[in-house]
Amino acid sequence: MFVIICAALVACVVLTIGPPIFRYFQDLKGFRKYPSQNPLSGFTNFAYGMEKWRSHRYFQTERLHHQLLKHPVVRLGPNWLSFRSSQAVKDIYGYTSQCSKGPLYDALQGGGQNLVLISDRGLHSSRRKMVASAYAPKQIEKWEPMVAETTSILVSKMDALCTTPLITGTTGVPCKEDLTFDGNWWALLYCFEGATKIGLSKDLGFIAQGSDLIQIQHPDGKVEKVNLIECARGGASAASTLVYDTPNFPTFIKLSKLISPWYAGNWAKGAKWRAAVEYITKERIERQDNGEVLDDLLGPMIEDPKTGAEADINVADRYSEVEQIVNGGGDGPGISLTNTLYYLIKNPETMTRLRAELDEVLAPEDVVAPWSKLKNLSYLRACVDESMRLSPPIATNLTRRTPPNRPSKIADEVVPPNTVVSISAYTAHRDPEIFPDPEAFKPERWLMKGDDRLRNMLAVYIAFSAGSRACIGRNVTILMQFVYLATLITRYEFALPNPDWEMKWRDYFNLWPEELPLKIWRRERQASA
């Protein structure tokens, strides 16, 4: 019996690792000529997820970028190539690209499909048409009061956290007790609350309570308190390390729960996140059924606004869309606000120029900056764009698959059919031919006129993705970011823990800042005449 068991185990090992080794040396597509991200990249996509576990001074996407500075193409998996040249943006994600989303997005669906995860082009097009009018720029006037309300509560909280001014001429190092404001945490609370107000007509109350705690009720009647942001990020952290080996992802989930407390805890958080999403979705539908007139992003996915008929979307997909409204509208913009404020504080000349632009249009009585005075401010927009260029919230490689029936040309490389291809926003935004001095925070680069440089930059700028898959919620995030930044920058002064303090990020699906500890105090402005 012992011999049989041993033979069975050996057979399992051979059958598991044998085929990848055989395919690697068979090399039907000729990919062995490309350098690999790590020694296992030629054998399994799991190698890409493994990179997220590494303890290193550089985060994963940054390490890959350093490799791409030496090699124009790097192999990330047996059938997966990552590119350096920003030309790959147009070839992979552009309107004329024939590349499509593949198994990674299907694996992440969890039973429901949303605009980000839908791989079928026809379904994506019909879903986008369903909700397009709800996201249109004309809706900003409707959203603004909700954002202003959240901003007003934030101002009252920040006023209470203000300290005495930093004394001019000192070392510029505030005492630890004066670091009362975590710019990262409050930006996340702000954006999750704003996105949920706009998306589901629900006030989470995050800013007022200073936490991400909400109370939900399960179908069995059990009431539970859930840390919404923590749970959303917990599930994403676990998935981002395992999902790239898509055929084995379900097995990896089961095994990781059994052998790792970290995975078990994060999968449990992910389950609580999905339970919270289901609860707030049902709550929103019940309010409408009870006669409330609600006008929000979810509305067209409940009832056709033109005919009054039930929307053509199943329950699982509706939950999935709410996940994207709340998490996509909260996490990405929150990251961007944290990064932008950080870069402005680290670059005082840029902060001074932005304040001058804001002071020209905002009166001291404008406690919350109104959108009407912000929407045409070119330097404010340039600061946001430059922050998202330098530290894109979604920095990782967004995969696409080349057509199955013919080779494709990606950044001057002829790529075989049915190959997974990608370029990270982090690398695309650092092409020195498009963005001179790419590691510098220079909002002025977005104000250039009179030549093709601005057009070339916009063509490869993928902070909101690109082509037909570009982020539909762009107008929501721009509104929240402009109002938040303009309000805070005109009202407060900021100091980092010390002049040499540097931001640190964690790289999962999104590039998460770890913290932004700040000393804040009221800025002196002259009252209007």
> Cα 385 to chain center, whole Å?
14
Rounded Cα distance, 525 and 187, in Å: 24
CB 389 within 8 A of CB 520: no
Residues facing 182 on adjacent strands: 517
> Cα 122 to chain center, whole Å?
25
Residues facing 413 on adjacent strands: 410
For 77, phi then psi, to 5°, come to -155, 175
Which letter does DSSP use for residue 37 in this model? S
Q: Which two structure tokens, joined as six digits, stand for 501? A: 């303090």
Q: Nearest-CA neighbor of 192 among 454, 480, 441?
A: 480
- Residue 182, classed as helix, strand or coil, is strand
CB 232 within 8 A of CB 273: yes
Q: Nearest-CA neighbor of 473 among 139, 218, 227, 47?
A: 139
Q: Which two structure tokens, joined as six digits, stand for 518? A: 């700040």
Q: Strands 80-83, 420-422: parallel, antiparallel or unpaired by DSSP? A: parallel
Q: Nearest-CA neighbor of 465 among 411, 409, 424, 507?
A: 424
If residue 73 lies in a helix (H) or strand (E), which one and from where to where?
strand 73-77
- The rounded radius of gyration (Å) of the Cα atoms in the chain is 24
> Cα 301 to chain center, whole Å?
23
Which letter does DSSP use for residue 295 in this model? -
Q: Which two structure tokens, joined as six digits, stand for 229? A: 């942001």
**Cα dihedral 198, 204, 206, 209 sign:** positive
Rounded Cα distance, 76 and 46, in Å: 9
> Cα 342 to chain center, whole Å?
17
Long-range Cβ contacts of 363-369 (<8 Å, 24+ apart):
363/528, 364/525, 364/526, 364/527, 364/528, 365/528, 366/490, 367/152, 367/155, 367/487, 367/491, 368/148, 368/151, 368/152, 368/155, 368/483, 368/487, 369/151, 369/482, 369/483, 369/486, 369/487, 369/490
Rounded Cα distance, 78 and 305, in Å: 47
How far the first Cα of the chain sits from its last, in Å, is 95
Q: Is 471 annotated as a binding residue?
A: yes
Q: Which two structure tokens, joined as six digits, stand for 22? A: 């055989």
Binding region for heme: 471
Binding region: 471
